[in-house]
Amino acid sequence: MNENVCFVDEDNLKNNYSRTEAVKSILQSNVETDKIREFINVLNIHSIQQIEKIEDLLLTYLLNYNNKNIDDYCETNTLLSNFFVHKKSKADVINCYNINTKSNPASVWYPHSNSGRSVYTENIFHKKYNLLDKSTPIGSAGSCFAIEIANYMQTNGFNYIVKEDNKSILTNTHSSCARYGTIFNASAFRQLIEVVFYNKQLPNYVWRKLNNEGRIVYNDPFREEIEFDTIDQYFTSKQQTIDAAKKAFSETKIFIITLGLNEVWKFKSDHSVCSRNPWNTSPSYVYKQILSVENNVDELQKMLDLWRQYNPEIQFIISVSPVPMIRTFQGEKMHIMTANMMSKATLLLAANEFANNNTGVYYFPSFEKIMYGIEKPFMEDFRHINKSAVNTIMKMFEFTYLKM
């Protein structure tokens, strides 16, 4: 047999070597510190194999080793520490696919026809949280899909916090807690909190357009889809919205965020962020930026840290909007469908990292359910989510977070 070959299968480790004989050979020799290190060094595959063969007896030996034979007591502790790191790593490997160690056993294996499970009936969750009930003060902000969430909350008896009238003529419910409009990117979320709680001054920029009735109306690039009939109305509304949002953001206990885009537009004058894009703004005023995973996580973390200075108990449920972007400024490099998936992939990674980095932040997989778990989730425009799919998503939300 070729001695250079290392067999790493479990049966070989258990049966091909006597644990007792291995430890006896160590005890009978004049064991030096470097000899113990040889058995503990988890970077060496042969040492791992030796540890597997004798790990229990080796641990006993290390714990009872006569310290006078080791010059540096700290080195003994280091060896033991490394040994326990190895033990934990091994346990993680053993249990990684073990459904019996998971809060939701169905979270490990993908549902398929042979499993008796269907992607269309699967609730996507790895753990249930008794996070809220219908009396819990809830708010939301984000892209188009966030409006659907707000509408569902208000029509299904949740304590959705509204501090400024912003009813939609289509749903007769409020689109958000105040008239801050739809928000599509993480930088705009951070900016909103700076404006609301820290008196950040945004430039008084507006752009004009003809509405459906042929009248000139004014739009605020920092409050997407909020229109004003006059400039005076714009100025009056600006402070009203800040005051209303401050009350709402201070009062809510749970806040739901949906991320929409990683393509961002900023103004050259002060790097302030458009909620979505500049629309009728002169190209001379703006520049574009693509937010990386790191950029998104950084912006979300700043938002969280700033917000919790004023509302320490607030918790967040973060998701990625399944609504595709309507256009891309990367058309020279990629098709819109590729740009959209790149954007969503970036936001999915960022949202999960943000949730994993912070207590009281939970990732909600609405994007995954829409894309893989509902047969026909889209309206005829193939972008926006139909009512049935929204209801399915929100039932999954209730299943995951509502106290039973």
Same domain, 149 and 273: yes
Quick one: average pLDDT of 171-200? 96
Residues 82 and 150 in one domain: no
End residue of a domain, out of 63, 96, 129: 96
Which range, of 45-54, 163-172, 233-242, 247-256, averages the lowest pLDDT?
45-54
- pLDDT (average), residues 137-165: 95
Looking at the fold, whether 91 and 145 belong to one and the same domain comes out as no
Span 310-319, pLDDT tens digits: 999 999 999 9
Of 28, 62, 96, the residue that ends a domain is: 96
Classify residue 3 as left (phi > 0), alpha (psi -120 to 50) or beta.
Answer: alpha
Whether residues 83 and 151 share a domain: the answer is no
The amino acid that residue 282 corresponds to is S
Say if residue 35's pLDDT is above 60: no
254-277 burial, b at 16+ Cβ within 10 Å, e below that, comes to bbbbbbbbbbbbbbeeeebbbbbb
Q: Could you tell me the two tokens for 44?
A: 């060496």
**Tokens in use for 54?**
């004798």
**Whole-structure pTM value:** 0.83
Tell me which range, 19-28, 72-81, 201-210, is most confidently predicted by mean pLDDT.
Answer: 201-210
Give pLDDT, residue 257: 97
The backbone region for 139, taken as left when phi is positive above 0, alpha when psi lies in -120 to 50, beta otherwise, is beta
E strand or H helix at 225, and its extent? strand 223-228
369 and 235 in a common domain: yes
Indicate if the pLDDT at residue 90 is higher than 50: yes
- Residue with the bigger pLDDT between 70 and 399: it is 399
Which structural domain range is residue 92 located in?
10-96
Which residues sit opposite 320 in a β-bridge?
A: 259
Enclosing H/E stretch for 362: strand 361-363
Which is higher by pLDDT, 280 or 349?
349
| 18 has pLDDT over 80 | no
Other CB atoms within 10 Å distance of the CB of residue 325: 22
Q: Are residues 240 and 387 in the same domain?
A: yes
- Say whether both 89 and 157 belong to one domain: no
Residue at 3 is within a domain? no
Span 77-100, average pLDDT: 77
Rg, Å, the chain Cα set: 28
In the chain, the percentage of residues whose pLDDT exceeds 70 is: 79
Nearest to 182 by CA among 138, 142, 238: 142
**Strand segments (E) across 250-293:** 254-259, 263-267, 286-290
Q: What pLDDT does 68 receive?
A: 42
Position 320 in a domain: yes
Assess if residue 127 is contained within a domain. no
**Spatial separation of the C-alpha atoms in residues 200 and 206, rounded to whole Å:** 18
% of the chain surpassing 90 pLDDT: 67
> Regarding predicted confidence, which is higher, 68 or 331?
331
Tokens of 371: 């894309």
Give the per-residue pLDDT at 214. Answer: 87
Q: Which long-range contacts (CB under 8 A, 24 or more apart) does 198-207 make?
A: 198/306, 202/270, 202/272, 203/267, 203/269, 203/270, 203/272, 204/234, 204/235, 205/267, 205/281, 205/285, 206/231, 206/234, 207/278, 207/279, 207/280, 207/281
Q: Whole-angstrom Cα distance, residue 257 to residue 318?
A: 5
Tally of structural domains, the chain: 2
Structure tokens at 52: 């597997």
Name the least confident of 50-54, 120-124, 173-177, 360-364: 50-54
Q: How far is CA 249 from CA 50, 138, 192, 193, 402, in A?
A: 57, 9, 11, 9, 21
Residue 38 predicted with pLDDT over 90: no
Residues 234 and 382 in one domain: yes
Assigned domain for 122 exists: no
Is residue 308 domain-shared with residue 241, that is, in the same domain? yes
Domain end marker among 80, 96, 112: 96
pLDDT band (50, 70, 90) for residue 281 = confident
Q: Which two tokens stand for residue 162?
A: 């509204």
pLDDT of 55: 60
Residue, of 344 and 280, whose pLDDT is higher:
344
Residue 41 predicted with pLDDT over 60: no
DSSP code of 395? Answer: H
Q: Is the Cβ–Cβ distance between 267 and 286 less than 8 Å?
A: yes
Q: Are 193 and 309 members of one domain?
A: yes
248 inside domain: yes
Quick one: pLDDT at residue 53?
55
In a domain, 110, yes or no: no
pLDDT of residue 24: 44
Task: Output the pLDDT for position 168.
Answer: 84
Domain-located, residue 111: no
Q: Are residues 252 and 387 in the same domain?
A: yes
- What are the tokens at 280? 């009728």
Separation of alpha carbons 10 and 31, rounded Å = 28
Highest mean pLDDT: which range of 51-65, 73-87, 92-106, 366-380: 366-380
Residue 153 — pLDDT band, cuts 50, 70, 90? Answer: very high
Distance CA 179, CA 176 (A): 7
Binned at pLDDT 50, 70 and 90, residue 76 comes out as: low
**Does residue 189 lie within any of the structural domains?**
yes
Q: Are 403 and 131 in contact (CB under 8 A)?
A: yes
Per-residue confidence band for 20, with pLDDT thresholds at 50, 70 and 90: very low
Query: Which CATH number goes with the domain that contains 310?
Result: 3.40.50
Average pLDDT value over all residues in the chain: 85
Q: Are residues 333 and 253 in the same domain?
A: yes
Q: How many CB atoms lie within 10 A of CB 195?
A: 20
